[in-house]
Structure 1
Amino acid sequence: MSCDCDSYQQHLLPFTTAYANLIAHAQCSLASETIPLLQATGRILSQAVISPVNVPPHNNSAMDGYAFKFNDLAEHQNLTLVGTALAGHPYSNRINHGECIRIMTGAPIPSSVDTVVMQEMTCATDNVISIKDAHKLKLGANVRQCAEDIALGQTILNQGHTLKAADIGLLASLGIHQITVYQKITVAVLSTGDELVSPGDTLSPGQIYESNRHTLIAYLQQLPVNIVDLGIIKDSKEAIREAFWHADEVADVVISSGGVSVGEADFIKDILNELGEINFWKLAIKPGKPFAYGQLANSHFIGLPGNPVSATVTFEQLALPFIQTLMGTQAKSQTKLLATATSDFKKRPGRFEFQRAIATEQDGKWQVVSVGAQGSGILSSMSRANCYVLLEENSNGAAIGDTVTIALF
């Protein structure tokens, strides 16, 4: 029986269309919660943070040295030392013309002075301070101005921002001890297949160790989400239906791997039609063609292929951006660069391909070499690679010396 391949490819949804469709369905409607600052790393802001203070809160010294009135230099080359200012212990008396104070880094600048000379540019004899090369000093030298970093009322972090360690320190410096973030979504993960066995169990003839759930959960553990591991589900409509019912009750997103192809035991598409609806199924990408997206009664459904490379690629490129958007933040894009191919990248037109490769950089120029065989079951290629070579639908591949687009992991 002949096959009209061109007609077949026309029924596959382009990658960019599938991506846009997913993002359009990922409307964040999460409630907010206020949590202690020290528990907020990795969480997503549900509202912008406005600074309640100036940073720094007062003019302060950027150096260990001596603080004085700049205009005094016109009449006084030598200054009389009258006191000391330390960080946390400001000098409160008035400083008259021709006088100065010893000042340490971070100490407040008294209102009667405006300039600091570093101690290395001075000579001290008893209580008399002589300034070397006074003509090199400028008004306001070595003084950090009030609010030069952050001003009272300034927007510091925007809604949707994912808090990193440096942000926690920044917020603490503003006196903020608790923060309002989106509540976590719940993601349920399951794999289907009678051939699958959990690592640590004994393999019987025809069985393989299940790896997709472990990959997906490892990715999800890097996100502020609750994870429900539903394990391995047998290839029966009854078992899959029961797993979907349970997942829909406890999760916002249900992710399965396997069972979305066209084999006799691939029941997920039928169950999804029964319990919900399919938005789209089958994409013009490689690896990962049998990707599916739909809705159950209370949750979103993402069906990944069973082959481990296909599952990983489609999770990274489609499921992960969807989840990030649903969480209330922008989908993170991979860094894309141009590189020179140092091996051939074979391809037939028709599908967008993510070929695993190893990129290296020297003197600002990137080169990329294929990891070898690109089969969707060769999971070691994902571990050895550090990038994808992105080959458009109509591309015939790339030869040695060609310029290609790479996306770094």
Structure 2
Amino acid sequence: MAQISDDCFAFGGQMRPIDETAALIASKLSAVEEVETVPLLLADGRVLAKKMVASLPLPPFTNSAVDGYAVRGADLPQTVETAFAVAGRVQAGMAANEPVRPGQTVRIFTGAPMPDGVDTVFMQEDVSIDGSGRILLPPGLKKGANVRPAGEDVALGEAVLPAGHRMRPQDIALAAALGFTELQVRRRIRVAVFSTGDEIVAPGDMRGPAQLFDSNRFMLTAMLARLCCDITDLGILVDDSRLIAEKLSEAALSHDLILTSGGVSTGEADCVKAAVESAGTLVFWRVAIKPGRPVAMGVIDGTPLIGLPGNPVASFVTFAHIARPAILALAGALQPPPTPIAMRAAFSYSKKQGRREYVRASVRAAADGCYEATKFPREGAGLLSSLVATDGLVELGEEIVRVEPGHTVQFLPYSSLM
């Protein structure tokens, strides 16, 4: 397991800005050292353990970019349409064995290798045929047109992906085109997850009249799965600080991260904060973010713990902005922050200065063709429907106190946060 010291974060109890908090967490967490080899088809979402270097150029040979007729650049018609005899035919996957002589053309198809001597291709729709079967090529085409040179896409020996890159489907395609069948990646991050609270029960269990079905654990597990984590579901723990402390200590023995939901606010029944202080060290528990101010960060026997709020929307937002960067740091992933999209606000909103707020919003096309963000009509960090019915979050920085229709705001699609 990745081990950190209990005092490595070394900051006090003041409410911290979200960017500073996320950056500090990421800087203090070291990537797991274990590396494993996985088949290419199972590499999506995994983090490269070493850079990927091209062992061949792409394309590996010069080929035609279109269906048409290939000629020598020296023979290109300059002012008038010129007739050429067809010397052969080259299809994709076939070798071009015969060189093309002056005054000749060859029928060629997309992806077929260029025969020796030719360097330009006329698109088939731009040519015609005369009465004797010769091809009439028009003037005006530049030498090298419609040809893909060897190495045009990727050069031999080029580092195409760095170590720490998190693989995507397009990266899988590139690796396959270079001939890779397997990749060396960091092992999966092992995360223990549990919810806390007497007020929740698991779906399928008997629910009391004052209880709710647990949704956070399922949401967080799904978000962790998208980050390719190995997940241990520890279920629901009742509001008992001693019991929670015991479970935290047990989980710390075999996991890289402990993730909890609920019990981190200031109520008498919020037991996670007390349990962390009993089993390890509590390094912070308030972040200047809405929704989601009560967020706990602790260290249990060298294993980091992140305690997320119990309200579902707050849990979602804080996972995206605090837990996700921590997980990527543990995985050794390069992690540029999500890039917001500037768009026009179609709502009014007031907020406190000095706090980052995330407003649930949908995107629509206005009458003038511009895209604008519309705010979900109701407030509340417990409204799961607000996450389902919207497209993302409008990010309002600490310095903003008021938004009016027509203002430019920064929009983060949900897809960029998972």
TM over 0.5: yes
Pick aligned residue for 2:288 from 281, 284, 308: 284
Counterpart of 1:168? 172
Change (3 A) 1:340 1:156: closer
TM-score (norm 2): 0.86
In the TM superposition, 1:3-14 aligns within 5 A as 11-14=14-17
CA deviation digits over 1:180-234, x for unaligned, max 9? 1111111111011111111122211321111110111121121111111111011
Superposition deviation, residue 64 in structure 1: 2.8
Counterpart of 2:259? 255
Aligned length: 398
Q: Does 1:408 align with 2:413?
A: yes
Superposition deviation, residue 147 in structure 1: 1.3
Counterpart of 1:34? 37
SS, match of residue 134 in structure 2: strand
When structure 1 is superposed on structure 2, of 73-82 and 311-320 the one drifting more is 73-82
Superposition deviation, residue 77 in structure 1: 4.3
One-letter amino acid matched to 1:368: A
Higher relative contact order (CA 8 A, sep 6+): 2
Pick aligned residue for 1:228 from 229, 232, 245: 232
In the TM superposition, 1:282-361 aligns within 5 A as 282-331=286-335, 333-349=337-353, 351-361=355-365
Q: Give the percent of matched residue pairs that are identical in Structure 1 and Structure 2.
A: 38
- Cα distance in 1 for residues equivalent to 2:227 and 2:59: 33
CA deviation digits over 1:103-149, x for unaligned, max 9? 222221222333333344142666x623232x223323332212112
Is the radius of gyration larger for structure 1 or structure 2?
A: 1
Counterpart of 2:50? 47
- Cα distance in 2 for residues equivalent to 1:110 and 1:392: 60
Q: Does 1:265 align with 2:269?
A: yes
- Cα distance in 2 for residues equivalent to 1:396 and 1:68: 66
Pick aligned residue for 2:403 from 372, 376, 398: 398
Counterpart of 2:9? none
Stretches of structure 2 lacking an aligned partner (at least 5 in a row): 1-12
Change (3 A) 1:338 1:90: closer
Superposition deviation, residue 340 in structure 1: 4.3
Counterpart of 2:140? 136
Does the 8 A contact of 2:77 with 2:140 survive in 1?
no
Query: What's the Cα RMSD here?
Result: 2.6
- Cα distance in 2 for residues equivalent to 1:42 and 1:223: 7
Change (3 A) 1:380 1:111: same
Does the 8 A contact of 1:68 with 1:115 survive in 2?
yes
Counterpart of 2:370? 365
SS, match of residue 176 in structure 2: helix
Q: Does 1:374 align with 2:418?
A: no
- Cα distance in 2 for residues equivalent to 1:214 and 1:316: 15
Q: Does 1:92 align with 2:97?
A: yes
Q: Does 1:237 align with 2:215?
A: no
Does the 8 A contact of 1:391 with 1:397 survive in 2?
no
Superposition deviation, residue 237 in structure 1: 2.6
CA deviation digits over 1:277-303, x for unaligned, max 9? 122121222221210112111421001
- Cα distance in 2 for residues equivalent to 1:123 and 1:162: 52
Superposition deviation, residue 256 in structure 1: 0.5
- Cα distance in 1 for residues equivalent to 2:291 and 2:265: 13
Stretches of structure 1 lacking an aligned partner (at least 5 in a row): 1-9
Q: Does 1:123 align with 2:129?
A: yes
- Cα distance in 2 for residues equivalent to 1:77 and 1:378: 72
- Cα distance in 2 for residues equivalent to 1:138 and 1:400: 52
CA deviation digits over 1:32-88, x for unaligned, max 9? 222111111121212111111112222222233333333245799443433332222
